């Protein structure tokens, strides 16, 4: 949980862009990839994510 908190406070968009979109900027592209994937993961696992 500490890691997630630090990521959220120190550049969430840049980190998500590196992981999901292969970009080096602060755009919202990866956010719109990340959110549906989290929702899908929660549904598949019955909310245990």
pLDDT truncated to tens, each residue of the chain (49 aa)?
A: 688 788 788 888 888 888 888 888 889 998 899 899 989 988 998 876 5
Query: Is residue 49 assigned to a domain?
Result: no
CA distance 34 to 41: 11
Query: Is residue 10 assigned to a domain?
Result: yes
Query: Is residue 12 assigned to a domain?
Result: yes
Residue 33 structural domain: 2-44
Which pTM does this prediction carry? 0.67
Q: How many domains does the chain have?
A: 1
- Which residue spans within the chain are E strands per DSSP? none
């Amino acid at each position: 949980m500490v890691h997630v908190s630090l990521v959220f406070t120190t550049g969430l968009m840049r980190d998500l862009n590196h992981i999901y979109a292969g970009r080096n900027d602060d755009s919202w592209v990866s956010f719109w990839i990340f959110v549906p994937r989290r929702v899908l993961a929660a549904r598949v696992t019955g909310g245990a994510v």
